[in-house]
Amino acid sequence: MESSELISKLNNILAQEFEVDVAKIKPEANIKETLMLNSLDAVDMIAVIEYEFGVKIPSGEYAHMKVFSQLYEYMLNALKN
Amino acid sequence: MGIYSCIGKNLDEVRESLYNGKSGIVFDPVRKEMGFRSALTAYLEKPDLKGVLSRNQRVYMPEQAMYAYVATAEALKNAKIDQDYLDSHVVGLMYGNDSSADPVVKAVDTMRAKKDTTLVGSGAIFQSMNSTVTMNLSCIFKLRGINLTVSGACASGSHAIGLGALLISNGLQDMVVCGGAQEVNPFSIGSFDGISAFSVRESDPTRASRPFDRDRDGLVPGGGAATVIIEEYEHAVKRGAPILAEVLSYGFSSNGDHISTPNVAGPTASLEMAIRLAGINIDEIGYINAHATSTPVGDAQEAKAIYNVFGDRRIEVTSTKSQTGHEMWMAGASEVIYSMLMMKNDFIAANINFENPDEDSAKLLIPDKRIEKKFNTFLSNSFGFGGTNATLIVRNID
């Protein structure tokens, strides 16, 4: 999957799941603030990504992700391997 | 009051359905494919709460919490209570609920298939617990009084109202949001179907629930949610509340007997306790809303209990379950609302499908057609598995 294709698909899935405007999901945007995630909702983000992409993000990895560019980077690496 | 039921999504629709004897029962082909003995069920759409509640609120709600939200929003509006009021007063919440099977089954299916608990999602735990309705409603409406689910099988809703009234009469709360909720899905009642409790009159769904009729062959499962706001009288007067009626008494008992087969002594004790505590003459009761679910044994035992207490007084007795099926954890609350709608509109809904009495129901006055009648006090029975019994007596306030 091309990186632009992955990013677009991921953004759309997250926007739909968390009911936010997809235009607000940008590489430099804060994940929690943009998706309005509390500590419980983070589980839903990890779950929806695993369902849609087959990529499991360990909670330790997720804890280090602040902005979407970090999430994109993790996903691209995971899908490459 | 507020309600979301198979015979209407609000009080106006439900009043019309009661008046016209409309049934909410259908045949559900999905249940047949699942191997159900009876595919009969009440039918109601799930409310669409997108745009009403946030995703973060909805994700914790199973269907019965959604029904309860709609019913409670209607009840609060009718009681002239807005969010500002709830934010500035201590209001309690006591709701009947005794299962949340659908989210439990789905979570277990996911865990078994995926071997990964994360994939169950954040909402599953809150949807799965028996107290799901009260935990959701208390957070959505920001309630800060008692916050408690009452699980008393098919008498849950009645016990919730009765206990709420006791809290008020003891000065512990000024206002309590009370009610009952019931999920409507195959998983929640599959095991109930398994014990042959349901009617198999599948060729004629609207005639399957026939409480007190000689040819009844079992209950039909129903559901939804019903909410009543109960409040200390002077408190209600002071804030200019539209006061509809007074909870005169709450009777209760336990059969101390068989887990599923009801007896006569237990319900009789509940009825007698309610009448004694109401402090009224028995002749003041103008209508009895029976628990009668359309099972052969249950209806007969209740008919005997009512006859034990009321004798030959010939007060109209009906079971609204003839129209709604058995709304189980919700029934005690919804049937208070059905009775209230009749009392406020001067009619008694027909016990539809009552065509031939049996030996016990013949001793009661059971109208098979709607009658126009003004009454000011009613009695409502709810009985449940394990032999839990509750009786409420309610008096009109104009």
Contact criterion met (CB < 8 Å) for A41 and B59: yes
What would the two tokens of residue B386 be?
């394990």
Contact A51 B59 (CB under 8 A): no
Work out the end-to-end distance of chain B between its first and last CA atoms, rounded to an integer number of angstroms: 15
- In the three-class reduction of DSSP (H, G, I as helix; E, B as strand; rest coil), residue B390 is classed as strand
Rounded mean pLDDT for each run of 10 residues along chain B, 398 residues in total? 98 98 98 98 97 96 98 98 98 98 98 95 97 98 98 98 98 98 97 97 98 98 98 98 98 97 97 98 98 98 98 97 98 98 98 98 98 98 98 97
Task: State the DSSP code for B247.
Answer: E
Smallest CA–CA distance, residue A25 to chain B, in Å, is 17
**Which residue in chain A is spatially nearest to B50 when comparing CA positions?**
A19
Cβ neighbours of A47 in B, within 8 Å: 118-121
By C-alpha distance, which of B137, B216, B218, B116 is closest to B179? Answer: B137
Residue from B162, B379, B381, B397 nearest B285 by CA? B379
Interface of A with B in 52-71 (CB under 8 A): 56
Contact B37, B193 (CB under 8 A): yes
Q: Is B116 part of the contact surface with chain A (CB cutoff 8 Å)?
A: yes
What CATH class has B2-396? Answer: alpha beta
Per the CB < 8 A criterion, the answer to whether B271 and B309 are in contact is yes
The closest alpha carbon to B158, from B35, B267, B315, B235, belongs to: B267
Residue B238: both structure tokens together:
């002071």
B235 included as an active-site residue: no
CA B42 – CA A27 distance, rounded (Å) = 49
Catalytic site includes residue B154:
yes
Residue of A19, A36, A44 lying closest to B121 (CB–CB): A44
Give the best residue of B50, B53, B54, B56 to mutate against chain A (max A CB count within 10 A). B56
pLDDT < 70 stretches in chain A: 1
A3-80 carries CATH number 1.10.1200.10: yes
**pLDDT, tens digit, for every residue of B250-271?**
999 999 999 999 999 999 999 9
Chain A contact present for B56, CB below 8 A:
yes
**B118·A19 Cβ contact <8 A:** no
Arithmetic mean of pLDDT over chain B: 98
Closest by Cβ to A19, choosing from B55, B118, B120: B55
Are B366 and B317 within 8 A, CB to CB?
Answer: yes
User: Are B116 and A56 within 8 A, CB to CB?
Assistant: yes
- The rounded distance, in Å, linking the Cα atoms of B7 and B325 is 10
- CA B46 remoteness from chain centre: 18
Closest CA to B135 of B150, B123, B121, B149: B149
Give the C-alpha separation, B146 to B231, whole Å: 14
Closest chain B residue to the Cα of A47, Cα to Cα: B119
CA distance A9 to chain B (A): 20
Q: Does B110 touch chain A (CB under 8 A)?
A: no
> How far is residue B362 from each of residues B317, B357, B370, measured CA to CA in Å?
11, 5, 18
CA gyration radius for chain A?
11
Helix (H, G, I), strand (E, B) or coil at B246: strand
pLDDT at A1 (0 to 100): 67
Domain-wise residue ranges, chain A: 3-80
User: Is B115 an 8 Å CB contact of chain A?
Assistant: no
Choose among A19, A47, A56: nearest Cβ to B121: A47
| Per-residue pLDDT tens over the stretch B336-389 | 999 999 999 999 999 999 999 999 999 999 999 999 999 999 999 999 999 999
Question: In A, which residues are within 8 Å of B121 by CB distance?
Answer: 43-44, 47
Tokens of A13: 């899935």
pLDDT at B31: 98
Long-range pairs for A46-50: beta carbons < 8 A, 24 or more residues apart: A46/B118, A47/B118, A47/B119, A47/B120, A47/B121, A48/A13, A48/A14, A48/A17, A49/A10, A49/A13, A49/A75, A50/B116, A50/B118, A50/B119
CB contact A51 to B (< 8 Å):
yes
B337-363 burial, b if ≥16 CB within 10 A, otherwise e?
A: bbbbbbbeeebbbbbbbbeebbebbeb
* CA closest to A19 among chain B residues: B55
Q: What span, in angstroms and rounded, lies between the C-alpha atoms of B341 and B157?
A: 17
Question: Regarding beta strands B92-96 and B147-150, do their DSSP bridges make them parallel or antiparallel, or are they unpaired?
Answer: parallel
- Domain boundary assignment for chain B: 2-396
Residue B376 has what pLDDT?
A: 98
The whole model's pTM is what? 0.97
Residue spans of beta strands (DSSP E) within B128-184: 147-150, 175-182
Q: What is the ipTM of this complex?
A: 0.90
Q: For residue B312, count other CB atoms closer than 10 A to its CB.
A: 8
Angle at which helix B296-310 crosses helix B265-278, to 10 degrees, equals 40
Structure tokens at A41: 């909702």
For B240, left (φ over 0), alpha (ψ -120 to 50), or beta? Answer: left
Indicate which residue of B6, B159, B178, B291 is catalytic: B291
Chain A hits for B59, Cβ within 8 Å:
41, 44
Using CA atoms, how far apart are residues B251 and A77, in angstroms rounded to an integer? 66
Q: Would you call B121 and A56 a contact, using CB atoms and an 8 Å cutoff? A: no
Catalytic residue among B6, B154, B159, B178: B154
DSSP-derived letter for residue B312 is T
pLDDT of residue A2: 79
CB contact under 8 A, B119 and A50: yes
